């Protein structure tokens, strides 16, 4: 249910890759806090419709936008559509990502280019376009990964590199955006139970052993952190990366 006195009442948010997993959890949490929420999706149209329907059925406002995060024009248009539909844009969550594994001597260069487009260029384009609409007090939240700093298995070098770029970009952009009163932060999930990395997947037992708490997290764990960063309580937090990893990197 959308809260009439929620921490995000009257705010407008865009969550990329919001049709399932972490993105869907963030979109629904924001809506419960009173925000109008737009989500982007690439292939999961049915999932996107379900997220929007759930928010609307609970009294919230929501919109699903088909947009490939690796397509510059599509990302620009998604931002414009969100602002046009809801009147402005206060919060941008760069959540959409691509994950491919492979040792460096086998990794296809086409996959490298695609991952850079989705995981690095896409967020940069979205941020650049969002600044046309954001006012003082705006929030940009990047969803990175603890993999940028800690990786217990081989074959994830490209994904780690793209998430490392997200970490560095967040830190540097805090300087660019600070004088405008806009904050930018990077949430670094650890092992979260999603379709990308299921808790019952083929490497789950091996991965679980690296988590201090001994179990995978839930998408809601990341949504809780994103909601805090989007709230007035985090007004003086910017340029930082916050791990939500159950002690994976401890």
Residue 2 is assigned to a structural domain of this protein: no
Residue 16 is assigned to a structural domain of this protein: yes
The reported pLDDT for the residue numbered 207 is 80
CATH of the domain at 157: 3.40.50.720
The reported pLDDT for the residue numbered 4 is 61
Residue 6 is assigned to a structural domain of this protein: no
What letter would DSSP give residue 19? S
Query: Which of 124, 132, 120, 142 has the alpha carbon at shortest distance from 189?
Result: 142
The reported pLDDT for the residue numbered 195 is 82
Q: Is 216 a catalytic residue?
A: no
pLDDT in tens, 67-95: 999 999 999 999 999 999 999 999 999 99
Could you tell me the residue range of the domain that residue 59 belongs to? 12-244
* Collapsed DSSP state (helix, strand, coil) of residue 40: strand
Residue 3 is assigned to a structural domain of this protein: no
The reported pLDDT for the residue numbered 211 is 92
- Residue 23: exposed, middle, or buried by beta-carbon count in 10 A (0-12, 13-18, 19+)? buried
Residue 125 is assigned to a structural domain of this protein: yes
Residue 45 is assigned to a structural domain of this protein: yes
Residue 1 is assigned to a structural domain of this protein: no
Q: Which residues of the chain have pLDDT under 70?
A: 1-4
Residue 164 is assigned to a structural domain of this protein: yes
H/E stretch holding 177: helix 157-178
The reported pLDDT for the residue numbered 67 is 98
How many residues are recorded in the chain?
250
The reported pLDDT for the residue numbered 201 is 85
The reported pLDDT for the residue numbered 213 is 95
Catalytic residue among 41, 150, 159, 216: 159
Total structural domains in the chain? Answer: 1
Name the β-bridge partners of 92: 14, 140
The reported pLDDT for the residue numbered 153 is 79
The reported pLDDT for the residue numbered 31 is 98
């Amino acid at each position: 249910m959308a809260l009439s006195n929620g921490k995000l009442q009257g705010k407008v948010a865009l969550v990329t890759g919001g049709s399932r997993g972490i993105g869907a959890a963030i979109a629904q949490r924001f809506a419960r806090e009173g925000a109008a929420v737009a989500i982007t999706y690439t292939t999961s149209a049915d999932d996107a419709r379900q997220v929007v329907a759930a928010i609307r059925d609970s009294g919230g406002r929501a919109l699903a936008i088909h947009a490939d995060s690796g397509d510059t024009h599509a990302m620009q248009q998604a931002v414009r559509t969100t602002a046009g539909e809801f009147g402005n844009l206060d919060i941008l969550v760069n959540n959409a990502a691509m994950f491919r594994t492979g040792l460096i001597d086998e990794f296809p260069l086409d996959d490298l280019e695609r991952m850079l487009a989705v995981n690095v260029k896409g967020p940069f384009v979205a941020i650049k376009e969002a600044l046309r609409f954001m006012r003082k007090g705006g929030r940009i939240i990047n969803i990175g990964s603890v993999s940028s700093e800690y990786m217990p298995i081989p074959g994830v070098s490209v994904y780690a590199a793209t998430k490392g770029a997200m970490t560095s970009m967040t830190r540097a952009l805090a300087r660019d955006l600070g004088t405008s009163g806009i904050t930018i932060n990077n949430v670094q999930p650890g092992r979260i139970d999603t379709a990308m990395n299921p808790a019952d997947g083929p490497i789950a037992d091996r991965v679980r052993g690296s988590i201090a708490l001994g179990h995978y997290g839930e998408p809601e764990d990341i949504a809780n952190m994103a909601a805090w960063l989007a709230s007035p309580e985090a007004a003086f937090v910017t340029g930082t990366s916050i791990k939500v990893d159950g002690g994976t990197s401890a």
